[in-house]
Structure 1
Amino acid sequence: MSSAAPALPWWKTVFVFGPHAGSHRVAVRAGISVVVPLVTVWALGHVEWSLYAAFGSFAALYGRNVRYRHRFLMQLSAAVVLVGAVVLGVVVAGMPSHEWWIVGIGAAWATLVAVLSDVFRWNPPGPLFGVFALCAVASVPPGPDSLLIAFVVSSGAAVVSLLVGGAGSVIVRRARADERVAASARPADAPSNPVARRRTRLLPDGDQRLAHAARFGVAAALAGGLSTALGIGHPYWAMIAAVVPLVAVRLSHSALRATHRIVGTFLGLILAAILLSAQPSGLAAIALVVALQIAAELFVTRNYGFALLFVTPLALVMIDVAHPTDTATLIVDRLVETALGTVVALLVAAATWAIWGRRDRASTSRSRGPLPATPTA
C-alpha cells in the first residue's frame, strides 16, 4: 500500500523548483513582445516613452499555457486594463500632491483589477501588473501631449503582444499538442496555474470573494500611505510588494510568497547594482531589459523567488531608462519599500484569515445543529 509523500519543511519549500512546462515558449513570446515596441520608440528618438511601451507589452505575460482562444481573450482583457492603467497614471502624475493621489487611486485600482482578474480568470491572477503600471507611470513627471502618447504607445505595444501570441499558436504546433496533453490531465474547468487552482478551490463565494479583492486595496493603501508619510522614495514599490503575497489564498502560501519576495529582491538588487553600474542606455539598455524579461519568464512559475533575481533589475532598468535616477537611491528605496510592503501584506493576510476562519467555524457550528443523543445499550 502506497503512502502519501511527506510534506517538506516550510523552509525547504522556498527552494523547490516546479516543472519547466514549456516556459521557453512563453519566454520567447514575452521577449518578442517587449523588444518590438522598445526598439520602435528608441528608433523614433523617444526613449522616455519606453515605460508606456513596456507596460503595454505586459499583456503577453498572461495565459501562459492555456489554449489560444482562451489566451487571446485573457490577454485582450489584460491589455485593456494595462492601457487604462498607463493612461490613468499619466492623469494622476499631473495632479497636485500626486504622491497621495497615487496611494488613494492606486489602492482603489488594485481592488478593481483584482475583481477583473477573478472575472476573466487571469493567469497569473491578481492586480500586480495593473498596479505597477498605474503607479510607476504616475511617479514620472508628464510631458507635453503625454496622455495621447501614452495611449498610442501602450496600445500599440499591447497589439504587438496579441499578434505575437496568435502567431505563436499557428507556428508552434507542438505547443498546442502539449497543451492538449496537459488539459487532459486535469479537470476541464481547472485553470492551468497552480495558484489559480488553489484560489478557485479555496476562495469563498459571495461577499467574501469581494472581501478577497478588497484586501488588495487595503494592503496597497496601508503600504503606500506609510511609505509616503515616512518620505521614502518610490512608494509604489511598497504597494506592489503588499499585493504580491495576497495572490495566494492560504496564509501559509502568502508567507511563502512573501519570503520569496524578500529573498529574491535582495539578491536581485545585488545584480541590479552590478548592471546599473555600467550605465546602460539606448539599444544596450533595451537588450538588457529583453534578456531579463526572458529569464524572468523562464522561472516565474517554477520558483518565484529565483525569478525575482531577474525581475528586480528588470524593473529598475526600466525606470532608469525612462527617468534616470541615482542608482544607490533606487536600490535602497527598493529594498526598504519591499520590506515594508511585505510586512503589511502578511498582517493583512493574517487578519483576514483570522476573520474568515472565525466565520467559517461559526457557520459550521450552526449547520451541524445540536449533537445527537448518544445511544444506550
Structure 2
Amino acid sequence: MVNDNLKILLAGEVKALFELKKTERLWHIPVLASLCVGIPLLVGYYFNRLDYGILACIAGLVILYMPTTTVARRMITLLACSFGFMVSFFIGVCFSFDPIISSVVLGLFTMSVHWIVNYFRMKPPGGFFFIMIASLASCMPFNLETIPIRVGLIGMGAMLACTLALLYSLFVAEKHSPKKELIVVENNNETTLFESVIVGVFIFLSLITGRLLELENPYWLPISCAAVMQGASLKHVWQRSFQRVLGTFIGLGLTWLLLLFKMTPLTICICIMVLQFIIEMLIVRHYGLAVVFITPLTLFLAEAGGAMTVDATTLISVRFLDIFLGSCIGAVAGWFLHDEQLRHKAENQIRKAKTRISRK
C-alpha cells in the first residue's frame, strides 16, 4: 500500500514537472513587459550608464501588476505599486549601512507588505517584487548622497511602465477590459497576521544567513525564499522549491553557455529583453521552465558589466549555492505557513491577546 501511494505521488510529481498549464493570458503582456524592461536598459547603454539603466529597468517590472480591469482601476493600481516600489527601495537602501539592522528592517518590511497584499487579496506576483527590490537595496553599498538619484531612477522606470501601460490600455486593451469589477478585502485578520509574521521572520533569517556566511550577494537568499513561499499550498511550496532548484541548475547551465560568448553591453541588453519575453510567456504555464530563463535574466541584471568579465564557472557555482540555500529556507517557511495545526493554535493565541487588550 505504501509503495503504491509512493508510486502515485511520484507519478503526479513527474506529470507536474512536464505539464504545461493552459492560460488565457494575452501575448501583448510579454511584449509590454519586454519594452518596460528593455527601454531603460537601452537608454542607459546609449548614455554609457548601464548601472542607471538596470535600476530603472527593475522598476519597469511594475507592469506585471497591471490588472485586467477598467482603464481607471488599472492605472490606479500601477501608480500605487510604483509608489510601493520606490518605498521598497528607499527603505532597503537607507538601512544598508549595517547588515544586522538591514536584515531586521527587511523582515519587518516584508511582514507589512505581506499583510497589505493579503488583506486586499492582490493577485500574483503579490508582494514578491516589493520584497525583491527591498532585498537588492538592502545589500547595496550605503552612500547617503546617491540615495535620491537611485530612488529617482526607480521612479522613472516605474513611470515609463505606467506610461506604456496607459497607451496600451487606450489603444489595444480597451476591448478586453470589463465594465465592472469587485475588490475583495480579506476578513480573517488573524490568518493574515500569522502568515505575515512567518514570512517576515523567514525573510529575515534568509538575509541574515547570507550575511553570516559572508556571501558576496546575500540578497539571492531572501529573493529565492520569497519566490518559493508564494506557493498556494504545502504541496505547491515543495513543488515550487524542487522546480526552482532544478530550473536554476539548468538555467545556470544556459547562463554558462551564454557567458562563453564575448557579450557586449548591447547584446546583454537585447538578451535581457528576449529573456523577459520568454519568461512572461512561460511563467503562467510552467514555473520550473520559466525559472530556467529567470536564472540568466537575474544574473545579467545583478552582475551588470561584471558578468562579461567574471569567470563563468565561479559565478555559476556561487549563484547555485545562494539560490539553493534560499529555496531550502523557503520550503521550511512553507511548512510553517501551511501547517493547519500550527495555524489554528496561532490564530487562537492572537484572538485571546486581542480580547485581553480590548478588556483593558
2:148 alignment partner in structure 1: 148
Counterpart secondary structure, 1:14: helix
2:200 maps to 1:225: no
- How does 1:352-367 map onto structure 2 within 5 Å? 352-354=337-339, 356=341, 359=344
Paired residue for 2:259, among 251, 272, 276? 276
Asked if 1:290 is matched to 2:273, the reply is yes
State, as a whole percentage, how many aligned pairs show the same letter: 20
Instruction: Note closer, same or farther for the CA distance 1:176–1:105 as it changes in structure 2 (3 Å cut).
Output: same
The amino acid that maps onto 1:124 is P
> Contact conserved, 1:265 with 1:309, CA < 8 A, in 2?
yes
Deviates more, 1:150-159 or 1:281-290: 281-290
Q: Which residue is 1:375 aligned to?
A: none
For the Cα contact (< 8 Å) 2:113–2:127, is it kept in 1? yes
Q: What are the within-5 Å matches in structure 2 for residues 195-206 of structure 1? A: 205-206=188-189
Q: Secondary structure at the match of 2:170?
A: helix
| CA deviation profile, 1:185-227 (whole Å, cap 9, x unmatched) | xxx6488xxxxxxxx9xx8812121111222211212222223
**1:224-243 alignment runs, 5 A limit:** 224-243=207-226
- Partner AA of 2:315 in structure 1: L
Q: Distance in 2 between matches of 1:328 and 1:171?
A: 46
Q: What TM-score, normalized by structure 1, do the two folds share?
A: 0.80
Distance 1:67 1:273 in 2: 43
Q: CA deviation at 1:162?
A: 0.6
Query: Which residues of structure 1 form unaligned runs of 5+?
Result: 1-5, 192-199, 364-377
State the alpha-carbon separation in 2 of the partners of residues 105 and 286 from structure 1: 33
1:67–1:265: structure 2 CA closer, same or farther, 3 Å change rule? farther
Partner of 2:324: 339
- Cα distance in structure 2, aligned partners of 1:339 and 1:113: 24
Q: 2:57 aligns with which of 54, 60, 73?
A: 54
1:68 Cα deviation from its structure 2 partner: 3.2
Q: Name the count of aligned residue pairs.
A: 338
Unaligned 5+ segments in structure 2 are 1-7, 349-360
Equivalents in 2 of 1:262, 1:314: separation in Å?
16
1:167 matches 2:167 = yes
Tell me the residue number matched to 1:209: 192
- C-alpha contact (below 8 Å) 2:75/2:166 kept by paired residues: yes
What CA RMSD, in Å, does the superposition of the two structures yield over aligned residues?
A: 3.0
Distance in 1, Cα, partners of 2:136 & 2:283: 21
In structure 2, the partner of 1:126 is: 126
Query: Structure 2: how far apart are the matches of 1:189 and 1:115?
Result: 20
Indicate the residue corresponding to 1:40 in structure 2. 43
After superposition, the C-alpha distances for 1:258-288 in whole angstroms (9 at most, x for unaligned) are 1221121111111111122324332221111
What's the counterpart of residue 135 of structure 1? 135
8 Å CA contact 2:43, 2:53 repeated in 1? no
Please give the per-residue CA displacement for 1:297-340, whole angstroms capped at 9, x wherever unaligned.
Answer: 11111111111111110000011216555543432222112221
